[in-house]
């Protein structure tokens, strides 16, 4: 009679696996890194000629002072209405003379369209809290994103975030640029 190899007792295998599992459960940090993406302006070349001045109607000044108070276009503002104000400025649906003008451009996939020349200028004080700064950045980004969604729905029938075709994404980006400029630092006080 052939000798039977004794069966290995696998009963404790589960315990060992459990032990490892618990170790990884504890050490795991499930945080995916998320955040607001921004491009900083390139450094200023001291020898470069002065850029042509931007017309006053094309600039939307948002100022946050050291007490986290908002000053929108020279008037006290509110974070709750900032998104609507920014959208109103960038869209300028009534073609008001004090809001930004438009530039005719030919964009692939969209044809001849009008692109707003408006730029949002975000200025802050050294004493502004980071939380407030992010809140303002977020609202301004939301304004641009909502306009992009509208345009995207109009042309391609889906939201900007759901566009899969890189050409379509680029087209919308050109039609609605992320025109938020972080100004040169200065002390606005307050």
Partner 1 sequence: MSRFRKEGGKKTPKINTASLPDIIFMLLFFFMVTTVMRETTLYVRTALPSATEIEQLERRSLVSFIYIGEPIQSHIFGTEPRIQLYDSFASVEDIASFIEAERQATAEAERPLMTTSLRVDRDAQMGIVTDVKQELRMVNALRVNYSTMRGEVAGMR
Q: From CA 172, how far away is CA 109, in angstroms rounded?
A: 9
Regarding 189 and contact with partner 1 (CB under 8 A), the answer is no
The set of residues, in sequence order, having a beta carbon less than 8 Å from that of 98 and lying 6+ positions away, is 57
**From the list 2, 8, 9, 37, which residue makes contact with partner 1 (rule: CB under 8 A)?**
37
CB 164 → partner 1: shortest distance, Å?
16
CB 57 → partner 1: shortest distance, Å?
26
- Please identify, using beta-carbon distances, which residue of 3 and 164 lies nearer to partner 1: 164
Question: Residue 173, SS3?
Answer: helix
**From the list 95, 108, 158, 185, which residue makes contact with partner 1 (rule: CB under 8 A)?**
185
**From the list 72, 87, 92, 124, which residue makes contact with partner 1 (rule: CB under 8 A)?**
124
How wide is the angle at C-alpha 85 spanned by C-alphas 79 and 86, nearest 5°? Answer: 95
Regarding 25 and contact with partner 1 (CB under 8 A), the answer is yes
**From the list 3, 4, 43, 45, which residue makes contact with partner 1 (rule: CB under 8 A)?**
43
Q: From CA 132, how far away is CA 155, in angstroms rounded?
A: 35
CB 106 → partner 1: shortest distance, Å?
27
Q: Using an 8 Å Cβ cutoff, are 181 and 118 in contact?
A: no
**From the list 61, 145, 150, 181, which residue makes contact with partner 1 (rule: CB under 8 A)?**
145
Q: From CA 179, how far away is CA 118, in angstroms rounded?
A: 7
Regarding 8 and contact with partner 1 (CB under 8 A), the answer is no
Q: Give Rg (Cα) of the chain.
A: 27
Question: Residue 45, SS3?
Answer: coil
Regarding 132 and contact with partner 1 (CB under 8 A), the answer is yes
Q: Are strands 59-64 and 119-124 parallel, antiparallel or unpaired?
A: parallel
**From the list 54, 109, 135, 169, which residue makes contact with partner 1 (rule: CB under 8 A)?**
135
Q: Which residues bind partner 1 (CB under 8 A)?
A: 10-11, 13-14, 17-18, 20-21, 24-25, 27-30, 32-43, 68, 79-80, 124-135, 137-139, 141-142, 145, 182, 185
């Amino acid at each position: 009679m052939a000798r039977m190899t004794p069966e290995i007792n696998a009963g404790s295998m589960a315990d060992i696996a459990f032990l490892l599992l618990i170790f990884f459960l504890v050490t795991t940090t499930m945080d995916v890194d998320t955040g607001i993406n921004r491009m900083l302006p390139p450094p200023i070349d001291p020898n470069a000629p002065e850029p042509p001045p931007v017309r006053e109607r094309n600039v939307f000044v948002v100022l946050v002072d050291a007490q986290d108070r908002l000053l929108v276009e020279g008037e006290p503002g509110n974070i709750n209405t900032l998104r609507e104000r920014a959208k109103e400025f960038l869209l300028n649906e009534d073609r008001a003379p004090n809001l930004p003008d438009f530039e005719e451009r030919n964009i692939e996939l969209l044809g001849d369209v009008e692109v707003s020349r408006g730029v949002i200028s975000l200025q802050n004080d050294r004493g502004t809290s980071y939380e407030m700064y992010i809140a303002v950045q977020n609202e301004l980004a939301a304004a641009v994103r909502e306009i992009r969604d509208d345009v995207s729905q109009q042309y391609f029938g889906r939201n900007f975030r759901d566009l899969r075709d890189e050409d379509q994404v680029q087209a919308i980006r050109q039609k609605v640029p992320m025109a938020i400029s972080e100004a040169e630092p200065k002390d606005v006080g307050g």
